[in-house]
């Protein structure tokens, strides 16, 4: 999947004209690319369209109009666009209550390395671990408490992609002592992720 360039980002007036329809498209797209794992963890698997939306919205809110400002956003968010054989996701710990945040965030330290894709089931299942996105990890990782947002990547070998393509079960798992959950993907998210993996 090709990275975004300055030419892909509309200026503010042009974006306002397309925003309503583009936003509606992205809402529908994110429904197919969002995976809930247990009660408080959600992964949004990013692609070129979701990243473009993020940059357009940042530019709109922060009134970024210079090429240099947009390029800075491209430099931050382009790494979230997956290459062939790769999946990139934004991981959200979905808590809004202060007491829950104080309770859960210390228990979820290390979550950015505790997520995996699981292909197949039983003794033949294959586990593909995630790795944190390097640029963001330095800012988000703490020893005593975790952030509520992380950016993670899965590098999926071709043989594993072939098993997904052949229809074997695909799940996303979080494995921490305080939080152990697994979600098997339905057809819509599975098709989206397979499209990313195939490039």
d(CA 58, CA 63): 8
> Which residues lie across from 155 on neighbouring strands?
86
pLDDT at position 140:
60
Output the six-digit token pair for 173. 């798992």
Evaluate if pTM is beyond 0.85. yes
Output the six-digit token pair for 18. 């397309």
pLDDT at position 143:
75
pLDDT at position 144:
87
pLDDT at position 96:
87
> Which residues lie across from 128 on neighbouring strands?
117
pLDDT at position 134:
73
What does each of the 199 residues of the chain score in pLDDT, given as a tens digit? 799 999 999 999 999 999 999 999 999 999 999 999 999 999 999 999 999 999 999 999 999 999 999 999 999 999 999 999 999 999 999 998 999 999 999 999 999 999 999 999 989 999 999 999 776 666 666 678 898 999 999 999 999 999 999 999 999 999 999 999 999 999 999 999 999 999 8
Cα distances (angstroms) measured from residue 67 to each of 24, 46, 54, 74: 27, 24, 16, 10
d(CA 72, CA 27): 25
pLDDT at position 15:
97
Write phi, then psi, for 118 (nearest 5 degrees).
-120, 120
Output the six-digit token pair for 4. 């975004």
């Amino acid at each position: 999947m090709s990275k975004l360039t300055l030419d892909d980002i509309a200026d503010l007036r042009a974006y306002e004209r397309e925003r309503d329809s583009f936003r509606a498209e992205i809402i529908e797209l994110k429904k197919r690319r969002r995976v809930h794992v247990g009660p408080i963890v959600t992964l949004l698997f990013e692609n070129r369209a979701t990243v473009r939306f993020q940059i357009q919205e940042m530019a709109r809110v922060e009134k970024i109009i210079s090429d240099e400002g947009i390029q800075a956003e491209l430099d931050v968010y382009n790494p979230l666009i997956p290459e062939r054989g790769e999946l990139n996701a934004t991981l959200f710990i979905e808590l809004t209550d202060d007491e829950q945040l104080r309770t859960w965030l210390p228990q979820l330290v290390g979550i950015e390395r505790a997520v995996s894709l699981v292909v197949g089931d039983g003794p033949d299942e294959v586990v593909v671990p995630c790795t944190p996105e390097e640029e963001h990890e330095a800012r988000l990782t703490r020893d005593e408490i975790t952030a509520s947002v992380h950016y993670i990547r899965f590098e999926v070998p071709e043989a594993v992609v072939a098993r997904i393509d052949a229809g074997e079960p695909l799940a996303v798992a979080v494995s921490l002592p305080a939080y152990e959950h697994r979600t098997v993907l339905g057809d819509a998210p599975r098709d989206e992720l397979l499209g990313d993996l195939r490039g």
